[in-house]
Amino acid sequence: MTFTSIKKSILFGLLCTVQGVTWAHGSHGHTMSAEEKRITQGVFTDQQVAARPLSDWDGVWQSVYPLLQKGALTPVFEAKAAAQHTSIAEITSYYQTGYQTDIESIEIENDKVEFIRGKDKSACHYQNAGYKILNYPSGKRGVRYLFECRDPASHAPRYLQFSDHRIAPHHSDHFHIFLGNDSQEALLKEMHHWPTYFPYQMMDKEIIDDMLHH
């Protein structure tokens, strides 16, 4: 992870704060309209969905999986278990599968995405491949934004899909990512494994607070 990238991400967060936007500090900092709330809950029409550029995810991002591994997300899981009338163990197992990843951080700038696994890094310039609207058995809906690496020399994942509960251009405050080398169609079938990332500059306490209000 480069100092320049981290500095740019921090500066972006400060800029957002100055402009009265709280993208870098969690979705609960922004007062959502009734329509925005419905959209984040998976209720929207096809006509509301719009294409988005990869730059919507610009920044330096950290995986939340290490927080789960050290037990820091227990308050989040306790709250979810109470709300869903299920056991903490069941909730923890669900997110253990969902969050699991060896990609510690991700850097995104314009169309370039770099994946960091310890000292190992891989990157590629990704091309926009549109989006896909998904209809879930629960009756809720979601949108995944698709991107592809077409550089045969790159060791980065060939296919990427982003989901951040938004359905139109807007900078992301956190996201779930789906990645693989088979096909976009294969990734669209993945419903249980969705590594999740928050801005790199957010402290553990801020991430947990965001999750409790999400």
Do residues 98 and 192 lie in contact, with contact meaning Cβ atoms separated by under 8 Å? yes
Residue 139 has what DSSP assignment?
S
Cα 168 to Cα 36: distance, rounded to the nearest angstrom: 11
> In degrees, to the nearest 5, what angle opens at C-alpha 73 toward C-alphas 164 and 189?
40
Antiparallel, parallel or unpaired: β 120-135 and 112-117: antiparallel
Report the alpha-carbon distance of residue 160 to residue 157 in Å, rounded: 7
pLDDT digits (tens, 9 = 90+) for 27-73: 444 577 888 889 988 999 999 999 999 999 999 999 999 999 999 99
pTM of the model: 0.85
The top-scoring range by mean pLDDT among 3-12, 26-35, 154-163 is 154-163
- For residues 27 and 196, the model is more confident at 196
Residue among 134, 122, 182, 140 at smallest CA distance from 162: 134
Res 11: pLDDT: 33
pLDDT tens, position by position, 19-29: 222 223 334 44
In the predicted structure, residue 15 carries a pLDDT above the cut 50: no
Taking the alpha carbons of 54, 118, 157, 69 in that order, is the dihedral positive or negative? negative
Domain boundaries, the chain: 3-213
The kind and range of the H/E element at 186 are helix 184-188
Q: Which amino acid, 12?
A: F
Tally of CA atoms within 13 A in the half-sphere of 107 that contains its CB: 17
CATH topology of domain 3-213: Lipocalin (2.40.128)
- Per the CB < 8 A criterion, the answer to whether 116 and 73 are in contact is no
Q: Which of 128, 124, 110, 118 is nearest to 55 (CA)?
A: 110
Q: What pLDDT shows up at residue 53?
A: 98
Among the ranges given (37-41, 73-77, 116-120), the one the predictor scored with the smallest mean pLDDT: 37-41
- The predicted pLDDT at position 33 comes to 85
Helix (H) or strand (E) holding 125: strand 120-135
Mean pLDDT of the chain: 87
Q: Tell me the CA distances in angstroms from 196 to 47, 65, 107, 173, 190, one per residue in order.
A: 27, 8, 14, 11, 14
